[in-house]
Structure 1
Amino acid sequence: MPDPDRRFTDAEREAVHALMQLRRDMRHFRPGCTVAPAVIARLQAAVLAAPSVGLMQPLRVLRITDAALRAALAQCVDAERLRTAAVLGPRGDDFLALKVEGLRECAELWALVLAPDDGTVFGRRTLAREMAWCSAGAAVENLWLAARAEHLGLGWVSLFDPQDLVRLLNLPDGAQPLGLLCISPVDHFYPAPMLMRTGWRQPRAPRVLFGENGWSGLQDDAPGP
C-alpha cells in the first residue's frame, strides 16, 4: 500500500500533469496486438481506485473476448454511425470521413455498464442517477490515464443504440450501457485531440468554463454540433 502521506516531487507532479495533457481519445490502433495480463491487472486496479459517491461503485466492466460478439457490437456501431450522419445534415459527409471507432482492430474491447441501482442514498438522495454517472465517469478517467501511462491508446465509443447492447450483453433490468472501450497499442498518439486536428470542433476558452458566484460570471459560446 502506498504511503498515504507521500509528498510528490516536482518531477512527479510534472509527470502527472503531463499525463493529463497527453491523454487522447484514440481511434487508430495497431492491429494484431495483445495486452499482457499484468497490464490488464494494473488497468483494473486504476478503475478500483477511482472515487465513487457513497462508495457505490456502479460501473461494471465486461471484457469482450468472443469474436462473434465483438463483430456484432461493431455492426451496432456501424449502424449508429450512419444514423448520426443522417441527422447532422450538411456535416454528415464530414462526420462519415472521421474514424470514430476501432472495435475491429483494438487488442482489448471492454463494455461499460451502469449496474442497476443498489439503493445507495449517501451523497445521492436528490441526484441518484446523476451521481452514478459521475462515479462511472471518474472510473473511466482513471483508466484512461493508466492506459496512457502504459503507452496504450484508449477510445471511448458511444455510437450505438443502448437497447442493442442490452440484448447482446444480456443485461439485467435497470442496467444501462455507457460505452465501448477500445484499448490497444498504437503507432503514435495524436499530437492534439482528433476533433481539433480535423477541424470538427475546437475547445472552449477557459473564461467560458470558469466563473464566480453564479452563472452570470461565465461567458457564453456556441461551438455547434
Structure 2
Amino acid sequence: MHPSYTQQEKEIIYRVIRERRDIRHFLPDPVPEPVLARMLEAAHYAPSVGFMQPWNFILITSRELRQQVKASFERVNQNEWAKLTDDERQALYSRLKLEGIMEAPINLAMTCDHRRDAPFVLGRAPMPETDVYSTCLAVQNLWLAARAEGVGVGWVSLLEKREVEKLLGLPDGVELVAYLCVGYPVEFRSKPMLEEKGWKFRMDWRQLVFENGWGDPVVSYSLTSP
C-alpha cells in the first residue's frame, strides 16, 4: 500500500497551494521569531540539485537599506510603465501596488551561492542553472509555510538586480534570486491581485499539457477537474 495522507490532510495541502497570494499590503504587526524560524526551516527543506542547498537568507532590518532598495524599485517601475503604449493599460498599471518594501515588517533576500560544493556538484554540470531553480523551490517552500502560518509574502522583481546585489554586499558567485516582503497581510484576496484587477486571468491548465512533444494533444489520460 502506498503511504499517503488522510483526505483531510490532502485537502489542507491543496488549499494552501490554491490560496497562496502575492501580498503587497501589510499590517505593522511583527512576525514572531518562532513563526519566522519555522518558515526559514521549511525553505531549507526544499530539494536541491546534488543536495547542494545553495540558498542563503538575508534579513534586511536597516531602514536606510530598505529605502535604497525602494529607490531602485521606483526607477525600474517607472521604466516599465513607460514601455506601455496603451493609455488604458498605463492607467491600470499605475493603480497596481507592486511592492511593500517599507511597510512589511520583514524584508528577506534569498540568494543562490553558485560556489557551494564546487567544483563538482552531482547532476548540475549538464544544466548549471539548476542551482537557481533549487533556490526557487526554497522560495516556494517558504511561501507555502507562510500561508499556513497566516503570513503574507510578496516577491519584488522590479529591481535593478546588480545594484541590489551590491547594496547587500554579495560576493562574486552569489546571486540574488528573490527579494521578499514578509508580514501579516491586510487581507488574503480570494483571487490573485492581477486577476482581480483585470490585468490577466488564470489560464486553463489543461491547455498547457502536451503528450510526448510540444503541442501534441494528450490522448492517454483523461484530465478532468477534481
TM-score, L = length of structure 1: 0.89
Which consecutive unaligned segments of at least 5 residues does structure 1 have?
220-225
Task: Give the equivalent residue in structure 2 for 1:134.
Answer: 133
Correspondent of 1:85 among 81, 87, 90:
81
Q: Please tell me whether the aligned partners of residues 109 and 183 of structure 1 are also in contact (alpha carbons under 8 angstroms).
A: yes
Trace 1:205-224 onto structure 2 (pairs within 5 A). Answer: 205-217=204-216
Structure 1 residue 6: Cα displacement: 6.5
Which consecutive unaligned segments of at least 5 residues does structure 2 have?
219-226
**Aligned to 2:56, what secondary structure does the other structure show?**
strand
In the alignment, the residues of structure 1 paired with residue 166 and residue 186 of structure 2 have an alpha-carbon distance, to the nearest angstrom, of: 34
Runs ≥4 residues deviating over 4 A: none
Trace 1:1-225 onto structure 2 (pairs within 5 A). Answer: 7-30=4-27, 32-90=28-86, 91-118=89-116, 119=118, 120-129=120-129, 131-217=130-216
**Aligned to 1:155, what secondary structure does the other structure show?**
strand
Q: Count the aligned residue pairs.
A: 213
Q: Please tell me whether the aligned partners of residues 116 and 173 of structure 1 are also in contact (alpha carbons under 8 angstroms).
A: no
Q: What amino acid is the match of 1:99?
A: K
TM-score, L = length of structure 2: 0.89
CA deviations on 1:14-69 (whole Å, 9 max, x unpaired) are: 11111111111111111x22111111110111011111111111222100011111
Structure 1 residue 153: Cα displacement: 0.8
Q: What amino acid is the match of 1:16?
A: I
Percent of aligned positions that are identical? 36
Cα 1:126–1:218, aligned 2, differ >3 Å: closer, same or farther?
A: farther
Q: Please tell me whether the aligned partners of residues 62 and 111 of structure 1 are also in contact (alpha carbons under 8 angstroms).
A: yes
In the alignment, the residues of structure 1 paired with residue 166 and residue 42 of structure 2 have an alpha-carbon distance, to the nearest angstrom, of: 28
**Aligned to 1:158, what secondary structure does the other structure show?**
coil
